[in-house]
Amino acid sequence: FSFVSAKIHASIDGEVKSILRIVNPVTSGIISAVEIVSEEIEEGIISNNQLDDEKNQQVQQVNQEPHHKQVNQQPHQPPSQINNQTVSQSGSLSGRQSGSQENKYEDYEGKYKEYLKTVEKLEPKEFIEKIKEAGIVGLGGATFPTHVKLSVPKDKIVDTVILNGCECEPYITADHRLMIEYGFEMLIGALIIFKIINPAGLIIAIEDNKEDAAKSLEQKIFALGLQEKFKLVLLPSKYPMGAEKTLIKNILKRKVPVGGLPFDVGVVVQNVATAKAIFDAVILNKPLIERVVTITGDIEHPLNLMVKIGTLLTDMAEYFGKIGDKKYKVIFGGPMTGFTIGNINFPLTKGTGCILLEKVSPRSESNCIRCSRCVSICPMNLEPLMYVNFVKNNKYEDCSSYYIESCIECGSCAYICPASIPIVGYIKTGKAVLSRK
């Protein structure tokens, strides 16, 4: 396929599939491009060699927009090591940095290139074993064991790995900060995933409201010499763009079958924080004992913290201010997919990327008015209102008939419901009952 100017795409044979916002590999600026698929080329991702062949592609910059009013031509500063320190909302690091700011960028580049040599020496089985021993799980929220997810069944062929940097849920900025502060570590972790899966290419998906992270990663990709393997794609900042199936559909135009897995369409999706944890496990022999967490809501100092797994919320209070049991509702996870806890002494888990503290505003559930808003907004084209009815009446088998297993629990239906029905709660109950049968 080709990325070409919208003004000249009519002169090229093929079908316009989508209009994307991507990072220009030459200038690191953000450009708009049209994706055109020729009728002679099968739909999907093609190899980098094909992309590099001048006969198979035409590239022209269009609508080039500078990242800032004045693009800073100076090399990026090395990633700051955050160890129980805070990152303010504006993105500046508050707290001590472990390393002198006077160190040259090239020194950091050289250090990470040494890590690349370590990666080249190891075999995929060794990577898998280290990841398993370190207790790495998916840090996007699902917490599925990563060593299992990276063990592709022999009857499946994976041609694309997607590194998910789409942090589309409101309030959460943990992955955004991680991509900026730990860009080199994340990219080397992504390379380890690449070595295990051996796909045709790896796509780093970032939302278009994170251009600073995209530009930073693009510079680091070139510094490590990974531009032939890794590609950056900017996607619209829309919820739930970060959901696995939604991501695959928007980037590759492939639809995961009902009850299927990304394996079935030749894709593996991993979170950017998981990639960084893989780096820690393989290169530093460090197990998954900490993660970046966004602490936000109706508090004085919203921030991101690198927090040890198992830390109590009360132990983090010194960073964002005191809280009271009755004054706040505490949500572990985002506002759409998180769950309310009744005790502020609840510990941080591996899958918690956000802690949201909201002032209590009681909402009582009322009867469904059949407005069908939940049906209209569902990204999986399901009928959420039916699951509520089935669960209330213990008709769990009917839930399966309406493809309840296809629900990604994004929370859009519950958010938009005028009757304040906790639809996702009913769906989770239905799934839990069916899983035991």
Least confident of 80-84, 200-204, 229-233, 261-265: 80-84
Nearest 5°: the CA angle 22, 1, 17 is 70
Q: At what angle do helices 183-197 and 211-223 cross, to 10 degrees?
A: 70
Work out the average pLDDT over 124-145. Answer: 94
- Looking at residue 175, its pLDDT comes to 96
Which residues are within 8 A (CB) of 37 and not within 5 positions of it... i.e. 6 or more apart?
A: 1, 14, 15, 17, 43
- Looking at residue 75, its pLDDT comes to 31
- Looking at residue 35, its pLDDT comes to 55
Q: Which amino acid is at 273?
A: A
Least confident of 59-68, 205-214, 280-289, 376-385: 59-68
- Looking at residue 328, its pLDDT comes to 74
With cut-offs at 50, 70 and 90, classify the pLDDT of residue 318. Answer: confident
Task: Tell me: pLDDT of 104 over 50.
Answer: no
Task: Tell me: pLDDT of 96 over 50.
Answer: no
With cut-offs at 50, 70 and 90, classify the pLDDT of residue 387. Answer: very high
Least confident of 55-59, 183-187, 195-199, 427-431: 55-59
Percentage of residues of the chain with pLDDT beyond 70: 73
- The model's pTM: 0.74
With cut-offs at 50, 70 and 90, classify the pLDDT of residue 97. Answer: very low
- Looking at residue 43, its pLDDT comes to 37
Which residues are within 8 A (CB) of 21 and not within 5 positions of it... i.e. 6 or more apart?
A: 30, 31, 32, 33, 208, 234, 235
* Cβ 404 vs Cβ 430: under 8 Å: yes
Q: At what angle do helices 105-121 and 183-197 cross, to 10 degrees?
A: 20
Question: What architecture is the 290-359 domain classified under in CATH?
Answer: Roll (3.10)
Work out the average pLDDT over 301-322. Answer: 87
- Looking at residue 259, its pLDDT comes to 84
Percentage of residues of the chain with pLDDT beyond 90: 59
Domain positions in the chain: 2-52, 101-283, 290-359, 373-435
- Looking at residue 364, its pLDDT comes to 85
Strand order in the sheet with 93-94: 93-94, 86-87, 303-308, 290-297, 354-359, 328-332, 339-341
Where does residue 157 rank: exposed (0-12), middle (13-18), buried (19+ CB within 10 A)?
exposed
* Cβ 293 vs Cβ 354: under 8 Å: yes
With cut-offs at 50, 70 and 90, classify the pLDDT of residue 384. Answer: very high
Distance CA 160, CA 200 (A): 6
- Looking at residue 7, its pLDDT comes to 39
Work out the average pLDDT over 338-343. Answer: 84
Q: What is the pLDDT of residues 210-248, one digit of tens each?
A: 999 999 999 999 999 999 999 999 999 999 999 999 999
With cut-offs at 50, 70 and 90, classify the pLDDT of residue 23. Answer: low
* Cβ 261 vs Cβ 155: under 8 Å: no
- Looking at residue 293, its pLDDT comes to 95
With cut-offs at 50, 70 and 90, classify the pLDDT of residue 429. Answer: very high
* CATH no. for 101-283: 3.40.50.11540
Query: DSSP secondary structure string, 144-196?
Result: -BHHHHTS--TT----EEEEEE---STT--HHHHHHHHTHHHHHHHHHHHHHH
Task: Tell me: pLDDT of 55 over 60.
Answer: no
Q: What is the pLDDT of residues 153-202, one digit of tens each?
A: 999 999 999 999 998 888 999 999 999 999 999 999 999 999 999 999 99
Task: Tell me: pLDDT of 374 over 90.
Answer: yes
Radius of gyration for the chain, computed over Cα atoms and rounded to the nearest angstrom? 23
Which residues are within 8 A (CB) of 352 and not within 5 positions of it... i.e. 6 or more apart?
A: 291, 293, 332, 333
Strand-strand pairing, 290-297 and 354-359: parallel
- Looking at residue 65, its pLDDT comes to 35
Nearest 5°: the CA angle 363, 367, 370 is 115
Q: Which amino acid is at 236?
A: P
The answer to whether the 101-283 and 290-359 domains have the same CATH topology is no
Q: Is the dihedral of CA 336, 337, 340, 345 positive or negative?
A: negative
Q: What is the pLDDT of residues 354-373, one digit of tens each?
A: 999 887 776 789 999 999 99
* Cβ 369 vs Cβ 418: under 8 Å: yes
Higher pLDDT, 338 or 84: 338
- Looking at residue 4, its pLDDT comes to 38
Average pLDDT, the chain: 79
Where does residue 269 rank: exposed (0-12), middle (13-18), buried (19+ CB within 10 A)?
buried
Distance CA 306, CA 94 (A): 13
Q: Which helix (H) or strand (E) holds 292?
A: strand 290-297
Which residues are within 8 A (CB) of 303 and not within 5 positions of it... i.e. 6 or more apart?
A: 86, 87, 88, 89, 94, 294, 295, 296, 319, 320
With cut-offs at 50, 70 and 90, classify the pLDDT of residue 320. Answer: confident
